Structure 1
Amino acid sequence: MDLLHLVDRIEELLATAQKMPIGNRAIIDRRRMLDIIDQMRIAIPHEVREAQEIVARRDHVLREAEEDRRLIEAQAQERASRMVEAHEIAQSARARAEEIAREAERRLQDRIDEANRDIAQRIDESRLIAREQMRAADEYARDLLERLERQLGTFVKSVRSGIDQLEPTPQSLARSTAPRADIPRVEAPAREVAPPPPVAEPYEPERLPERAPAAEEDFEDRLDRLERERFEREQVELAPARAERAPIPFPRDDAEDNLENLLQPRRARPVSREIPEPGVIDDFANEPLDDDPMFRRGRRDDDDR
């Protein structure tokens, strides 16, 4: 039986007891009180034993709690040490990674700067080569045009000489036979007169059939007709002089040789087998013009001829 329950019954018994009129006294049932006291006497050893068991369990629980506390504390210290060590390793790894990244960035920047310098140097070299080749091409073109000009001048002279050998036109004959006022006339000394050459038969041009006069001939047709009649008369007058005139030799060989120089095939220039350096832009990788000094000797030979 619970000891506290018995105490409650005693308290109830005292509360329900009949009070005495004199003093603070009450009438209690003796039998009931003794019964409760016996029950308490029986219940006290049981409570004491339970209290002893609880105290014994408490000590065991305390010991287990102390062991658990020590174990948890050791585990916490070990975990804390591991975390500290991991943190230090992480910081070291992070610092090493940052150092490696800075070193890689510095090396990359050095490579970029070196590549930029190399590219700028190669571009300057390519521009210099292109400038030299363009200047050589300009010199070759100028030389070729000068040669062409000389050959064309020779050809024009040859053509002019051939034109002079042809029969003169009325205008050129009038200019050649007209006396010049600024040149004094010099009398030639008398010399033995050679017998006159045989006179050729006069040249008679073919007469065009006369056109019947129109009722009203316009002014332009009349001028054409007068010009044609005058030209026919001049042809008749110049026929003997044309028959006596000796032909002039026509120097054709020089002009033809000069003109043939332009038509001669160019000598094949050996193609360079040089492998260009990587990264150099060579716009003149094709077969270059024959502007080298080794080809100029051939062009001088052509000019001398």
Structure 2
Amino acid sequence: MDLLHLVDRIEELLATAQKMPIGNRAIIDRRRMLDIIDQMRIAIPHEVREAQEIVARRDHVLREAEEDRRLIEAQAQERASRMVEAHEIAQAARARAEEIAREAERRLQDRIDEANQDISQRIDESRMIAREQMRAADEYARDLLERLERQLGTFVKSVHAGIEQLEPSPQTMARIAVPRAEVPRAEAPRAEVPRAEVPRAEAPAPVREADPPMAETRFAGRGFDHEEPRGDYEERLERLERERLDREQPSLAPARATRTPIPFPRDEDEGLENLLQPRRGRALTPPESEDAGVIDDFANEPLDDDPMFRRDRQDDDDR
């Protein structure tokens, strides 16, 4: 039973008690009062125990709350420290990343500068080597063209000498010209002038890659061994000239009778010989010309830039 309810019953019992005429007294039922007191004795320990339990529970709750408060504070401090540490780590990592990026950019720029400098140096060296090679090629081409010019000049002199030997000069033709009516009609057998056999030259060696091939040109007009058809009038003029020379210079008659034109080696297609690639093989030895100033180009030694000679020089250097 609730202790407060019992207190209310006592209060009700006092209120309903009969009052005495003298003094502030009242008549109360003793039995009912004792019954309520007994009930109060029974109810008081239970209430006290509940109050003690409540007080003990309150202390436990307070201790738990204090522990929770301390735990929460520790967790909050730890979290705050972690956040601060994480922020510091993030800042340090960010600073380190920026430093690494700057270092990488600096190294990259240094590599780019070194590469540009190396490329510029290589370009300068390549240009210098190219200029040296072009200068050497120009000198070689100039030397080769000068040699070719000298050989062509000698060749032209030889050609002019051969033409002068094969044909009488215009002055000689004008000097021995006589009217057709004064030429005797004797049918003397014509002496056959022996002709020297022109040796057929071997096929030229292949032209080197460094030397440009010469354009093949045909001789326009009359070649070295070409003879124009001659009539009776020209033959008589030639015979009369020989007879006159024999009468004036009888000692030179045998030499004139046996004189033969100088043979000139020619290719099979009667084209110009490639002087940049001299022929290899049997050397031609034409008879000496009466004109000491004429030089036969084909009797000269081949150029020193011949591939065969260059291979021999390479073998000598290796030895």
Shorter-chain TM-score range: 0.5 to 0.7
Q: How far off is 1:144 after superposition?
A: 0.9
- The whole-number CA distance in structure 2 between the counterparts of 1:62 and 1:69 is 10
TM-superposed CA distance for 1:150, in Å, is: 0.8
Whether contact under 8 Å (2:151, 2:297) holds in the other structure is yes
Q: Determine the C-alpha separation between the residues in 2 that align with 1:269 and 1:105.
A: 57
For the residues of structure 2 that align with 1:92 and 1:263, how far apart are their CA atoms?
76
**Residue of structure 1 equivalent to 2:266:** none
Alpha-carbon offset, residue 89 of structure 1: 2.7
| Residue in structure 2 matched with residue 178 of structure 1 by the alignment | 174
CA contact (8 A) 2:157 2:295 kept: no
Structure 2 match to 1:210? none
- SS state at 1:260 partner: coil
Counterpart position of 1:63: 63
- Taking every aligned residue pair, what percent have the same amino acid on both sides? 67
What is the alpha-carbon distance in structure 1 between the residues aligned to residue 191 and residue 72 of structure 2? 149
Deviation at 1:96, TM superposition (A): 2.2
**Partner SS state of residue 303, structure 2:** helix
Q: How does 1:265-276 map to 2 (within 5 A)?
A: 265-266=309-310, 267-268=313-314
Counterpart of 2:150 in structure 1 is 150
What is the alpha-carbon distance in structure 2 between the residues aligned to residue 130 and residue 174 of structure 1? Answer: 56
Contact 1:3 1:44 in 2 (8 A): yes
Structure 2 Cα separation of the partners of residues 112 and 204 of structure 1: 92
Say if 2:312 is the partner of 1:256.
no
User: What is the CA distance between 1:51 and its match in structure 2?
Assistant: 3.4
Equivalent residues, number: 199
Change (3 A) 1:102 1:249: same
Residue 78 of structure 1 aligns with which residue? 78
Indicate the SS of the match to 1:131. helix
Q: Kindly report structure 1 stretches of 4+ aligned residues shifted beyond 4 Å.
A: 1-4, 36-45, 172-176, 242-245, 250-254
> How far apart are the structure 2 equivalents of 1:83 and 1:121?
56
Q: CA deviation at 1:177?
A: 2.1
Match of 1:113 in 2: 113
For residue 12 of structure 2, what is the aligned residue in structure 1? none
Which AA in structure 1 matches 2:290? P
Provide closer, same or farther for how the CA distance between residues 70 and 234 of structure 1 changes in structure 2, counting only shifts above 3 A.
same
Unaligned runs of 5+ in 2: 10-31, 176-187, 193-227, 247-252, 260-288
| Pairing partner for 2:190 from 181, 190, 203 | 203
1:256/1:2 Cα in 2 relative to 1: closer, same or farther (>3 Å)?
Answer: farther
2:125 alignment partner in structure 1: 125
- Structure 1 residue ranges without an equivalent (≥5): 11-32, 180-200, 206-226, 272-305
Counterpart residue identity of residue 111, structure 1: R
Secondary structure at 1:123 match in 2: helix
Query: CA-to-partner distance for each residue in 1:97-139, whole Å, 9 max, x for gaps?
Result: 3112202211220221122112102211220121122012101
2:302 counterpart SS class = helix
CA distance 1:203–1:173, change in 2 (3 Å): farther
| Secondary structure of 1:261's aligned partner | coil
Per the alignment, residue 141 of structure 2 pairs with: 141
Q: How big is the shift at 1:45? A: 4.7
Q: Secondary structure at the match of 1:249?
A: coil
CA distance in 2 between counterparts of 1:263 and 1:239 reads 49
Which AA in structure 1 matches 2:297? A
Contact 1:3 1:47 in 2 (8 A): yes
| CA RMSD of superposed structures (Å) | 4.0
Against the structure 1 CA distance between its residues 72 and 95, is the aligned structure 2 distance closer, same or farther, given a 3 Å change threshold?
A: same
Residue 162 of structure 2 corresponds to: 162
Q: Is the 8 A contact 2:3 2:47 kept in 1?
A: yes
State how far apart, in whole Å, the 1-side matches of 2:155 and 2:304 are. Answer: 13
Q: For the residues of structure 2 that align with 1:84 and 1:203, how far apart are their CA atoms?
A: 134
The answer as to whether partners of 2:154 and 2:297 remain within 8 angstroms in 1 is: yes
Q: Distance in 1 between matches of 2:141 and 2:190?
A: 53
CA contact (8 A) 2:158 2:296 kept: no
TM-score scaled by length of structure 2: 0.50
1:48–1:118 distance in 2 versus 1, CA, 3 Å: same
8 Å CA contact 2:2–2:43 kept in 1: the answer is yes
Query: In structure 2, what is the Cα distance between the partners aligned to 1:40 and 1:242?
Result: 194
Could you tell me which amino acid in structure 2 is paired with residue 177 of structure 1? Answer: M
Query: Relative to 1, partners in 2 of residues 1:94 and 1:67: Cα closer, same or farther, differing over 3 Å?
Result: same
111 and 76 in structure 1: CA distance in 2 versus 1, 3 angstrom threshold: same
Letter in 2 for 1:97: A
Q: Is the 8 A contact 1:3 1:43 kept in 2?
A: yes
Could you tell me how far 1:256 is from its partner in structure 2?
3.1
How far the C-alpha of 1:95 sits from its partner, in A, is: 0.8
| Contact kept? 2:154, 2:295, Cα under 8 Å | no
